Amino acid sequence: MSIGNALGIASSGLANINLQMSLISQNVANAGTPNYAVEVSSPESRSANSQPLGVLSGQATLQINNELQSECFNQSTTVSGLQTRQTALQALDAAQGTPGQGNDLASLLANLQTQLSTLLTNPNDQTQQTKIVQAASTLTQGINAISDAYTQQRQTAQDGVVSAVSTLNTTLATISSLNNKIVGLQVAGQSTADLQNQRNAAVATLSQLLNVKTLQQPNGALQVMTASGTVLPTEVPLTQIVAPGVAIEPGMSYASGGIPAITLNGVDITSRLQGGQIGADLTLRDTTLPTYQAELDEFAANLATRFQAQGLTLFTDPSGSVPAPPTSGPVQAPYVGFSATILVNPTVVATPSLVRDGTNAVAGSPSGAAAFTPNPPGGPAGFTTLLNNVLTFALGTEAQPGVAQPAFNTTGLGMDGTLSAPFVAPTTLSDLAGALVTSQAQDSTETTSQLTTEQAVQTTLNSKFASESGVNMDTEMSSMIALQNAYGVNARIVSTAQAMFTQLLNAVQ
């Protein structure tokens, strides 16, 4: 072998070592980066006429299990959606109060019932009459607070959608830029491994926002689409996905047009954005929380109407009105959002004795409450008819002896009549309050339990991906030591070749 051949072999070896060391440095720097796939290069030996010519450094590529990475992305979507839902529902747990501690809906209603029962023993007790008004006011304030919590969480979900769509647009723009660079390098025959890792990191961000699918194009570009097949913008010129902001109110809904759609090129794609943070926020905003609101509205409306039906208009809206039965359309149309405004009738607040005497006459109906005439001014101080009727019927299972109370609505709920409560309709206000709180608390508990399970799956998948495709520090350090040894050998060859060339030059001079 000539000195020149030896020098060429050593030089190519040093060049390959330089590339390998660069890759090790890149890998070690990203050892803690989620979803980062180790970058490797496989050198090839070169020869001619059975004579070695050195090594050819191969392009850097990703050592990656694409199928496993896809599973990691899908699991990230699941966990992100559950985390978003858990945050919202846990915020509602405090507003609902703790059953049996006096601050939950059923306990507040029970306290009002207790105060009414106490007055029954001495109907002329003015202090006790005032306590009833106070208990009723505490109940309505509790209802208002829960309703406000629903609205606040719906607003949080709406704002979350707007923010997440902004991140979605930014991330898609990043993928578009990386696509263009990768296509250019692939045409030039250069390595795209580092850019692919950056693009995978962008896809990981997308997977937290919503459920996406990706399709590798022959030219190296990556197409991104929703789970339902809607292609998301990654080609220049980029089109923005539009998610307008809006101030949420109890009676508003996406289906009725009160909440604007998310659009792409003017087309409504709201229903196509599923999974992840965006999907969870949309479900909270349009289904979960409106259902909670509808259940509470049902309780508030029936609380007002059942008391009024017995002759005591104790609960009204700010104008002093009680929700009227629907004449057409969705059953809750007349009182959607009533729980946000219900209060104690100002007339009763001004004259607490009305809780004994009554506020309105009742004509009586064979399918409803019996006839009732209020205690006239100067009437018996021990008047108990109204109190008995309220305790026995308004808070009981019957409107009058032998006549069942009208059933609570559990289907066809909400402004659009598309929502349903997850429980069988109870018969009393107390039972409805309990069912409402229990079912909503169960949602929160089940979400937390499911999140714990899915996070464990996510940890397992990420660990498996890291072991197969991630950076192994022991392997990288071992490779570095081997490269250092190889560098020393190649460097000695170069040094020896230089010395021999020097000797040859001196010999011919």
Confidence of residue 317 (pLDDT cuts 50, 70, 90): very high
**Separation between Cα atoms, residue 247 and residue 442, nearest integer Å:** 29
**Separation between Cα atoms, residue 309 and residue 328, nearest integer Å:** 21
**Separation between Cα atoms, residue 377 and residue 232, nearest integer Å:** 73
Q: What pLDDT is stored for residue 199 in this prediction? A: 93
DSSP-based three-state secondary structure for 400: strand
Q: What pLDDT is stored for residue 66 in this prediction? A: 87
**Encoding tokens for residue 293?**
């609101």
- Full 3-state SS string of 423-435: CCCCCCHHHHHHH
Confidence of residue 439 (pLDDT cuts 50, 70, 90): very high
Does 473 have pLDDT greater than 60? no
**Separation between Cα atoms, residue 261 and residue 257, nearest integer Å:** 8
- The average pLDDT across 439-457 equals 96
Rounded alpha-carbon distances, angstroms, from residue 408 to 157, 228, 247, 331: 29, 37, 30, 10
Rounded alpha-carbon distances, angstroms, from residue 73 to 207, 280, 368: 6, 16, 58
**Separation between Cα atoms, residue 421 and residue 438, nearest integer Å:** 12
* Preceding amide of 237 cis, omega within 30: yes
Tell me what the pLDDT averaged over the chain comes to.
87
- The average pLDDT across 206-211 equals 97
The model's pLDDT over 119-175, given as tens digits with 9 standing for 90+, comes to: 999 999 999 999 999 999 999 999 999 999 999 999 999 999 999 999 999 999 999
Does 104 have pLDDT greater than 60? yes
Q: What pLDDT is stored for residue 467 in this prediction? A: 80
Q: Which of 251, 443, 216, 434 is nearest to 332 (CA)?
A: 251
- The average pLDDT across 110-117 equals 97
**Encoding tokens for residue 105?**
């809906």
Q: What pLDDT is stored for residue 308 in this prediction? A: 98
Domain ranges of the chain: 3-63+471-508, 70-455
Check if the beta carbon of residue 474 is closer than 8 Å to that of residue 38. no
Check if the beta carbon of residue 262 is closer than 8 Å to that of residue 255. no
Q: What pLDDT is stored for residue 9 in this prediction? A: 59
Check if the beta carbon of residue 424 is closer than 8 Å to that of residue 410. yes
**Separation between Cα atoms, residue 2 and residue 427, nearest integer Å:** 101
Percent of the chain at pLDDT > 90 equals: 68
User: CB atoms < 10 A from the CB of 488, how many?
Assistant: 10
Q: What pLDDT is stored for residue 477 in this prediction? A: 59
Check if the beta carbon of residue 451 is closer than 8 Å to that of residue 79. yes
If you ran DSSP here, which 8-state letter would residue 383 be given?
-
The whole-model pTM stands at 0.86
Q: Which of 114, 84, 118 is nearest to 102 (CA)?
A: 114
- The average pLDDT across 56-77 equals 81
The model's pLDDT over 334-372, given as tens digits with 9 standing for 90+, comes to: 999 999 999 999 999 999 999 999 999 999 999 999 999
Q: Which amino acid is at 224?
A: V
DSSP-based three-state secondary structure for 344: strand
Q: What pLDDT is stored for residue 465 in this prediction? A: 86
Write the CB contacts of 185 (distance below 8 Å, at least 6 apart in sequence).
Answer: 191, 192, 195, 220
Which strand (E) or helix (H) includes residue 53? Answer: strand 51-56
Task: Considering only residues 313 and 486, tell me which one the structure prediction assigns the higher pLDDT.
Answer: 313
Check if the beta carbon of residue 329 is closer than 8 Å to that of residue 413. no
Does 393 have pLDDT greater than 70? yes
Write the CB contacts of 298 (distance below 8 Å, at least 6 apart in sequence).
Answer: 332, 408, 409, 410, 413, 421, 432
The model's pLDDT over 191-201, given as tens digits with 9 standing for 90+, comes to: 888 899 899 99
The model's pLDDT over 8-50, given as tens digits with 9 standing for 90+, comes to: 555 555 555 555 556 666 666 666 676 777 666 555 555 555 5
Task: Considering only residues 268 and 508, tell me which one the structure prediction assigns the higher pLDDT.
Answer: 268
Q: What pLDDT is stored for residue 423 in this prediction? A: 94
Q: Which of 491, 484, 462 is nearest to 24 (CA)?
A: 484
**Separation between Cα atoms, residue 79 and residue 276, nearest integer Å:** 7
If you ran DSSP here, which 8-state letter would residue 411 be given?
S
* Backbone torsions φ then ψ of 275, nearest 5 degrees: 75, 170
Cβ neighbourhood burial of 211 (10 Å; 0-12, 13-18, 19+) = buried
